[in-house]
């Protein structure tokens, strides 16, 4: 990545090349890692993500013909659409559906969306579980809101971007990724109550604590990730209905045994146990961070991974190998982050040990003849913003 121009420069250069005119502005939104709280968002629960320094940048200007034209650096394609294509979901597919979905959701909510020319460049890797789709939605949304002078406060934007993804793109995701891309703050993790959408910015100053977060791309292909995600979500909703609660959020940690006793299906019991214990791990992590005991969240991260592996069944051998090797090399805690079935692992490490932990993961991969992993260390970055 070091030999590439800055992503904001690339977006503006792409805009000038494609449209032969400069953009009116540039808007950026980040990818995210989730520190803890996996598959809890669509159960009305708690999550604790932070924004990555890896960003998607949209250069944009009003469209003279009131349409939407978008160019992507990644594919080199330009996709053009008008009001007909965004009258209902399904007309635009592929990567441009995330853009059309945002236009559709804004219009459906009654906003007078301005036509726009857009150019997209990104440093958020696709398919790595770092939420490249929400970064694209958030950056496009910020651009359209500003270009049109629309009245849409930041706290209402995640729900709208999620609607684009759920209804226009057709992916049944929760509210975490869009919230992270839009509402995160530099130097902080975002404690989000996914039922009320209340956010609390929790200071997470890794440098001051002598810590590092290592993000390791497992390089595991996402095997049936979409279908499995929808399946897990459906299992949770069915279990909530059987238990007579609105969402699994309503099963308290100290009521877990009673709830499990009321479920006959062993698989349903495991899914419920993951969600209920994971919500508690988020709350416990927040309490530790607030108390300045950041090292101690390590055990909770590792317990989260075990729960995803054993109860929610969303890990794959590559991510389990990365977690085990990181822990054996001295990581304070490690877990898969994101929807699962591949993607990234995060490890909380003493800053001085980051290299040795990364080397141990690489060696463990070589032993098993897995595709070599890649890794980077990250600190919490800001959410979506206008650059100029
Ligand atoms: C994906 C989804 F998009 C999120 O909403 C969330 O459910 C996550 O998987 C799992 O925690 O990133």
DSSP lists the bridge partners of residue 104 as none
Return the number of other C-beta atoms located less than 10 Å from residue 288's C-beta.
17
Asked if pLDDT for residue 203 goes beyond 60, the answer is yes
Distance CA 62, CA 60 (A): 7
Asked if pLDDT for residue 323 goes beyond 70, the answer is yes
Q: How big is the chain by its Cα radius of gyration, in Å? A: 21
Annotation-wise, does 130 bind a ligand? Answer: yes
- pLDDT tens digits, one per residue of 265-276: 999 999 999 999
Ligand 1 pocket (Cβ < 6 Å) reads: 38-39, 41-42, 131, 173-174, 176-177, 338-339
Q: Ligand 1 atom 3: the closest Cα is on which residue?
A: 173
pLDDT confidence band for 3 (50 / 70 / 90): low
Ligand 1 centroid–CA 280 distance in Å is 18
Choosing from 45, 176, 229 the residue with most ligand 1 atoms within 8 A of its CB, the one to mutate for a pocket test is 176
Choosing from 172, 177, 192 the residue with most ligand 1 atoms within 8 A of its CB, the one to mutate for a pocket test is 177
Distance CA 182, CA 197 (A): 12
Ligand 1 centroid–CA 6 distance in Å is 28
Across residues 297-309, what is the average pLDDT?
99
Residue 198 CB burial class (10 angstroms; 0-12, 13-18, ≥19): exposed
Query: ipTM for the complex?
Result: 0.99
In this prediction, residue 223 carries a pLDDT of 67
Asked if pLDDT for residue 2 goes beyond 70, the answer is no
In this prediction, residue 381 carries a pLDDT of 98
Total-model pTM: 0.97
In this prediction, residue 132 carries a pLDDT of 96
- pLDDT tens digits, one per residue of 11-67: 999 999 999 999 999 999 999 999 999 999 999 999 999 999 999 999 999 999 999
């Amino acid at each position: 990545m070091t030999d590439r121009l800055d992503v904001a420069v690339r977006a503006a250069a792409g805009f000038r090349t494609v449209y032969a005119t400069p953009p009116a502005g540039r808007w950026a939104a980040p990818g995210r890692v989730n520190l803890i709280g996996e598959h809890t968002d669509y159960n009305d629960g708690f999550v604790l993500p932070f924004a990555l320094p890896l960003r998607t940048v949209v250069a944009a200007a009003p469209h003279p013909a009131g349409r939407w034209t978008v160019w992507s650096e990644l594919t080199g394609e330009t996709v053009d659409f008008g009001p007909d294509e965004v009258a209902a979901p399904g007309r635009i597919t592929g990567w441009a559906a995330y853009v059309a979905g945002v236009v559709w959701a804004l219009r459906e909510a009654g906003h007078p969306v301005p036509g726009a020319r857009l150019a997209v460049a990104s440093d958020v890797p696709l398919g790595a579980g770092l939420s490249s789709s929400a970064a694209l939605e958030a950056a496009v949304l910020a651009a359209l809101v500003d270009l049109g002078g629309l009245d849409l406060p930041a706290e209402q934007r995640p729900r709208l971007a999620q609607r684009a993804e759920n209804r226009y793109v057709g992916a049944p995701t929760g509210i975490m990724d869009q919230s992270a891309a839009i509402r995160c703050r530099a130097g902080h993790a975002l404690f989000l109550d996914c039922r009320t959408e209340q956010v609390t910015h929790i200071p997470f100053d890794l440098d001051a604590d002598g810590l590092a977060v290592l993000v390791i791309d497992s390089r595991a292909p996402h095997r049936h990730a979409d279908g499995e995600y929808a399946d897990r979500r459906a299992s949770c909703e069915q279990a909530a209905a059987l238990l007579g609660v609105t969402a699994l959020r309503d099963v308290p940690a100290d009521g877990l045994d009673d709830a499990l006793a009321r479920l006959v299906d062993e698989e349903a019991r495991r899914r419920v146990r993951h969600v209920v214990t994971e919500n508690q791990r988020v709350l416990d992590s927040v309490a530790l961070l607030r108390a300045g005991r950041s090292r101690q969240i390590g055990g909770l991260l590792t317990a989260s991974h075990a729960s995803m592996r054993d109860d929610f069944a969303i890990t794959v051998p590559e991510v389990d190998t990365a977690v085990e090797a990181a822990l054996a090399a001295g990581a304070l805690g490690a877990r898969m982050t994101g929807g699962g079935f591949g993607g990234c692992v995060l490890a909380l490490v003493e800053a001085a040990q980051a290299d040795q932990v990364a080397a141990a993961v690489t060696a463990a991969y070589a032993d098993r003849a897995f595709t070599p992993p890649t890794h980077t260390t990250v600190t919490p970055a800001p959410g979506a913003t206008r650059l100029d």
